[in-house]
Amino acid sequence: MSLNLALWATNLEPGLSSLDAWAAGVGEMLERAAADGAALLVMPEYAAAQWLSFAPALAPDAEIPWLAAREGAALERLRPLVARHGVALVAGTIPHDLGGGRYSNRANVLFPDGRHLHQDKLALTPGERDPASWCLATGDTLRVMEVGGWRFAVVICLDIELPALAVRLARLDLDFVVVPSMTRLAAGNARVFGCARARAVELMTVVAAVGAIGERPLSGQPHPNTSGAAVFLPCEEALGHTGLGPATGIMGRAAGPGPYLFCPDLPVGFVRRLRRGGAEVWPGAWDAGHLIIEDLP
């Protein structure tokens, strides 16, 4: 039993004329994913930032409200595309209006059967907490979702770096985790992808990470993005020892819409069996709460 997954490391540099143009590009990728037989297509964090290419001049602290005001219209364009192509979609993340002047960084997950679920980012970067810039609120709920009978969670960028969250995830019997990210520098990408690789070992599951590439359009300072796409597996002999699955290169610039990575036959069923008792040394959802800590002089 396996999963076919598609990752789109979206290039943010090409200018857009409208939401319709953006949705058409997503539709093309959904069509490609459907032709490949993918069950799920994953876009990166802040894929919606590409909309700023057709925005009026905005102050940095006005960009999030402007993007959030278009979330509903964007999703209305995506729903029929997901249904038509029969491929579930993690539509990157889009700022979401929580009311009262508060906004979250939200991953919308659309399914061909009409389900619409979401996951808000749980921990924010300094830029996302800056009142003079992208000032956002954190989420407080982690949602376990299902596609094709497989249990998964969406863990957004910095959230994958949190050991405390990993401890909670280990108890959820997840078949895979997807990590939409946006990282300005190669160092940030290495943190996110490195922790995604570690989580595959720690959770005994499949983890797929995908990031945005290219200069983000905005009216403030330049904001390059460096990333790619990769799948990580538990480090087991039967899975090739290394824990490395399909991957693109890591890049700061890309041609066209950005790299598309089709990941066929991910062994989620086999990994589930390992997680439930067949792994070489995995101790399960181990909790250190019983330990006595001795702080010695």
Where exactly are the structural domains of the chain? Answer: 3-278
Q: For residues 62 and 149, what is the distance between their CA atoms, to the nearest angstrom? A: 41
Give the three-class secondary structure for 167: helix
Q: What is the pLDDT of residues 23-66, one digit of tens each?
A: 999 999 999 999 999 999 999 999 999 999 999 989 989 999 99
Residues (pLDDT < 50) of the chain are: none
What the block records as the tokens of 268 is 């989620």
Q: CA triplet 137, 141, 145: central angle to 5 degrees?
A: 125
Choices 3.60.110.10, 3.10.20.30, 3.40.190.10, 3.40.630.10: CATH for 3-278: 3.60.110.10
Q: What's the pLDDT at 233?
A: 98
| pLDDT at residue 100 in the model | 95
Backbone angles phi, psi at 172, to 5 degrees: -100, 0
* pLDDT one-digit tens code per residue, 198-208: 999 999 999 99
| 241 vs 151: CA distance, rounded Å | 24
pLDDT at 132: 86
